[in-house]
Amino acid sequence: MKRLTIYTLFLIFCTFCSAQPALTSAQRFMQKKRGNSLPRLDCRMKSTNATLFNDSEGRFVLVSNDGKTVLGYGDNSATEVPTVIKAMMRQTVPSSKAFTTAIVSPMLTTKHSYNEPYNAYCPYYMDDDSTMSEVRCRVGCVATALEQILTYYRRDVVLLDTLHGWTTRHYTIDDILPGTTVGTKNIRDIYTTADTDEDVHPVAQLGYICAVAARMNFGVTESGASVWRLEEPLKRAFGMKYVHYMDSYQYDTRDWYRIIESELKAGRPVFYAGYTTDINGHAFVIDGLDADGLFHVNWGYGGNFDGYFRLDALNYLFQGNDVGELAISKGYFCNQQAILLCPDSVDTALPDTLARDSLDIVVDSVVFSQPPVTNALTPITVYLRNTTDNYLTTPYEFFTNELADTAFFKQAHYYKLSGISLPPKATGKISIQVKFDTCGVRMFRMSPDDEHIPYECIIDVAEQEQPEVTVVNPTITFPDPFSATFSVSFSNKSTSARFGEMMIYSLADPAAPSRDIRSEYEDVYVAAGDATNGEVTFNNLVPGQTYIIRIRQNWPVIYETTFTMPVVEGIDDVSSETESDLPVRWYTIEGRQVAAPTATGIYIRRQGKTSRKIVVTR
């Protein structure tokens, strides 16, 4: 019989967080929402502009560090903080207040994702060396978002026309023929890898059909597609009576949110997407509103961090690069897109699009903080001004040309996509980091629409050697029994080349060393022959637990060591419980909520305000 060895930790999961204004605001907000006493909150993650808090039941609230703005909240933060939430935490907090509106309860009941078992119909991937992947490609967030909306309507999906396949050197996609049918009434809200093929069949098939409709660029670690591609097949092959693709660039920001609000009040979930500084993106579903004007978001992460968020916070740019699912998506939602859709005809009038002009937003100046070079990031700040009486959201692509180029956009070497939202007559700035890979005299340009060029200047990109940075004098301190601060000096060994790269600090469990359980990110700049300091603090660690900490330059590891958290004093004698006494809330030592333990290991059990470390043995 399985026995549970229990250690009571009297102090575990107390809040150790320096963001006191944010903590106070978060507690008051949760108290207002839950209608109980002032809650006890854990500081889950603190970043440049915001702090993420959890309560003992896994509910979360995301608050600006000054405590003035609630950016999001929800009921399920059990697993690792997803990329998009980390992105929001590093963005400039909007100064405007969210609008007030009638409540629209979340419409979607599904909590689907894009990996197993939802990818059961996706192709395997053949590498360039003809090695076939052991796992199937991911179905992709674009497909997951669309699948969940189609499932919401619970109509049979019957293709009226062919979805044509295609062939690449990595996989082949066959045509999907007219008459192909998926009964969405058979699709469940939640699936696990333990479900049978028969159980998974309808949701996996529908997700795959959506992926083919979007012309998905399939991959094992991530799959991507362009949102605009969906409009045509949704009308032609799916027979949707109401389909509108929209780009936020073409609308007054106030009208944009009124459109989304109107769709939700009419009972129609909205397909939504945004793009990053490195022209990657994420698609999700907006399906509700609260009284304070926060939109309910189903991220497509299996329910993780679904909740209410300020979408205007996603418009603001912050510094950094995106490196996909392996790292933080810094600069999320430079440009936003939506698809309005319904199986039935809809009698509604959309606002007129704006007659945008390239001079609506004026570029006052562009500042290169460092001379442009190869083999290192160059920080660039663009100062902008809205000359109109409209709220404008504008994306910008940044690229270079040879001086002799005449077809600027066709001959361009693209580097970044960015964007900004500006109230009437307001000013703002965009910050990007560019790694130039072509030296010599170039024309640096930016454009909002692949047509107009509001700014250009000649730059001379110097060719420099690849600098080498080393980690010097690493130290680990423990501000409290549940936090570890890692301090380090980065020394540039090159005497002629400056260093500029993104550094990733990551934690792993020695029992599963290949899987990072926490990550923090920092852009590091070091002059030739110089050094600079870096520091990161990881919170909510487990007393007595050993961790691996790594420093990655972009992604390759350049430093690794282990450390053990101090043991909390005040542990009771060992006691035992049988399975019949198990409480409801269980967490792994990394803080991920799980069902009642079924495997040997160390777990955290929470019941009310009491938390216990539990060793499960067989």
Residues 452 and 487 in one domain: no
The predicted model gives 379-396 an average pLDDT of 90
- Same-domain check for residues 230 and 135: yes
Is pLDDT at 430 greater than 60 in this prediction?
A: yes
561 - beta bridge partners? 549
Q: Answer yes or no: is 393 within a domain.
A: yes
Q: Burial level of 309, CB count in 10 A (0-12/13-18/19+)?
A: buried
Taking residues 68-95, report their average pLDDT: 68
Asked whether residue 414 carries a pLDDT value surpassing 60, the answer given is yes
Residue 52, in any domain of the structure: no
- Within 13 Å and on the Cβ side, how many CA atoms surround 466? 2
The answer to whether the CB of 50 falls within 8 A of the CB of 73 is: no
Cα 559 to its chain centre, rounded Å, is 26
CATH number where 404 lies: 2.60.40.10
Residue 335 forms part of a structural domain: no
The overall pTM is greater than 0.75: no
Q: Tell me the per-residue pLDDT of 275-319, one tens digit each, with 9 for 90 and over.
A: 655 445 789 999 999 988 889 999 998 988 899 888 766 543 222
Q: Are residues 455 and 477 in the same domain?
A: no
591 and 560 in one domain? no
Q: Is 456 domain-assigned?
A: yes
**Mean pLDDT of all residues in the chain?**
82
The reply to whether 476 falls in a domain is yes
Number of domains in the chain: 4
- Domain co-membership, 452 together with 488: no
Q: What is the pLDDT of residue 518?
A: 75
For residue 86 the two structure tokens come to: 């980390």
In a domain? residue 168: yes
Flag the least confident range among 99-108, 248-257, 462-471, 573-582: 573-582
86 versus 379: the higher-pLDDT residue is 379
Q: What's the whole-number mean pLDDT along residues 191-218?
A: 95
For residues 523 and 377, what is the distance between their CA atoms, to the nearest angstrom?
A: 9
- Average pLDDT estimate for 392-418: 91
User: Torsion angle of alpha carbons 487, 493, 496, 498, nearest 10°?
Assistant: -30
Same structural domain for residues 196 and 148? yes
141 is catalytic: yes
pLDDT reported for residue 102: 81
- Cβ(372)–Cβ(378) below 8 Å: yes
- Expressed as residue numbers, the domain containing 598 is 580-617
The pLDDT value recorded for residue 123 is 97
In percent, the amount of the chain with pLDDT more than 90 equals 48
Q: Cis ω on the peptide bond leading into residue 117 (within 30° of 0)?
A: yes
d(CA 231, CA 337): 12
**Same domain as 529, residue 476:** yes
SS3 of residue 331 by DSSP: coil
Residue 514: predicted pLDDT: 81
Tell me, yes or no, whether 444 and 546 share the same domain.
no
Question: Which of the residues 137, 141, 210, 334 is marked catalytic?
Answer: 141
Cβ-proximal residues to 74 (8 Å cutoff; 6+ apart), any chain:
59, 60, 305, 306, 307, 308
pLDDT of residue 325: 30
pLDDT digits (tens, 9 = 90+) for 522-559: 889 999 999 999 988 887 788 899 999 999 987 789 99
Q: Do residue 233 and residue 147 come from a single domain? A: yes
Q: Which of 396-405, 422-431, 565-574 has the lowest mean pLDDT?
A: 565-574
- Do 183 and 233 fall within a single domain? yes
**Sorting pLDDT into bands at 50, 70 and 90, what band is 562?**
very high
Given the residues 17, 43, 122, 282, the one annotated as active site: 282
Of 38-52, 258-272, 440-454, 574-588, which gets the smallest average pLDDT? 574-588
User: What is the mean pLDDT of the segment spanning 564-573?
Assistant: 66
Nearest to 421 by CA among 133, 96, 24: 96
Which of residues 202, 217, 241 is at a domain's end?
241
- Could you say which of 222, 241, 260 is where a domain stops? 241
Q: Are residues 145 and 233 in the same domain?
A: yes
What is the per-residue pLDDT across 141-199, written as a single tens digit (0 to 9) for each? 999 999 999 999 999 999 999 999 999 999 999 999 999 999 999 999 999 888 999 99
In terms of C-beta distances under 8 Å and separation of at least 24 residues, what long-range contacts does 509-518 make, across chains too? 509/547, 509/548, 509/589, 509/590, 510/546, 510/547, 510/548, 510/562, 513/548, 516/550, 517/80, 517/590, 518/80, 518/590
For residue 553 the two structure tokens come to 């330059």
372 part of a folded domain: yes
Do 200 and 190 contact (CB within 8 A), yes or no? Answer: no
Adjacency order of strands within the sheet including 483-492:
469-480, 483-492, 531-538
Q: Domain check: are 152 and 225 in the same one?
A: yes
Side-chain-side CA neighbours of residue 226 (13 Å): 6
Give residue 13's Cα distance to chain centre: 26
DSSP 514-548: EEEEEEEEEEEEE-TT-EEEEEEEE-SPPTT-EEE
Does a structural domain hold residue 410? yes
Average pLDDT over residues 402-410: 95
CATH number for the domain that contains residue 192: 3.30.910.30
Q: What angle do CA 135, 137, 273 make, to 5 degrees?
A: 145
The pLDDT assigned to 119 comes to 96
Tell me how far apart the alpha carbons of residues 486 and 401 are, in angstroms, rounded to a whole number.
42
Final residue of a structural domain among 414, 435, 461: 461
Per-residue pLDDT tens over the stretch 469-506: 999 989 999 988 888 999 999 999 999 999 999 888 98
